[in-house]
Amino acid sequence: MSDDETIRVDRQDAEHRYRIRVGDVTAGFTEFRQDGTRLRFVHTLIDPAFGGRGLATTLVAAAMADVAARGEEVVPLCPFVAKYLRSHEVDGLVVDWPAEQNAV
């Protein structure tokens, strides 16, 4: 990644996703289904051309911080989002763990 490749994460409500862009190119997204103030995160995908750069972590970190700032709640159905939330504290984020993920 060169210095001129700015990384940006934005929320696209019409597409039900957060998108990560590298420069002017969409590098990936994390999809959600909205139920009131609950966002069920169902899938995260990074284009293989952008693999190995930590973009999935950057994307999910930004998405979770934005969800917390909006006062919404997360239901982590996507394995990557669940893994991220198990190992990272997000200030103000309310997580509603699915029952099968609570059992350890």
Answer yes or no: is 21 within a domain: yes
Q: How far from each other are the two terminal CA atoms of the chain, in whole angstroms?
A: 39
Give the count of domains, the chain.
1
CA atoms of 34 and 87, how far apart (whole Å) = 24
Q: Measure the CA–CA gap between 20 and 18, rounded to whole angstroms.
A: 7
Count of CB atoms situated within 10 Å of the CB of 59: 27
Q: Is 1 inside a domain boundary?
A: no
Contact 67, 41 (CB under 8 A): no
The tens digit of pLDDT for each residue in 41-79 reads 999 999 999 999 999 999 999 999 999 999 999 999 999
Check residue 4 and give its pLDDT.
Answer: 61
Q: Is residue 23 part of a domain?
A: yes
Is 72 inside a domain boundary? yes
Domain span including residue 73: 7-102
Per-residue pLDDT at 101: 53
Q: Is residue 18 part of a domain?
A: yes
Structure confidence by residue, pLDDT tens digits, 5-33: 899 999 999 999 999 999 999 999 999 99
Q: What is the CATH number of the domain that holds 28?
A: 3.40.630.30
Distance CA 69, CA 49 (A): 31
Quick one: CA dihedral 68, 81, 95, 15, positive or negative?
Answer: positive
For residue 66, is it within any domain?
Answer: yes
Distance of CA 63 to the CA centre of its chain: 4
Residue count (the chain): 104
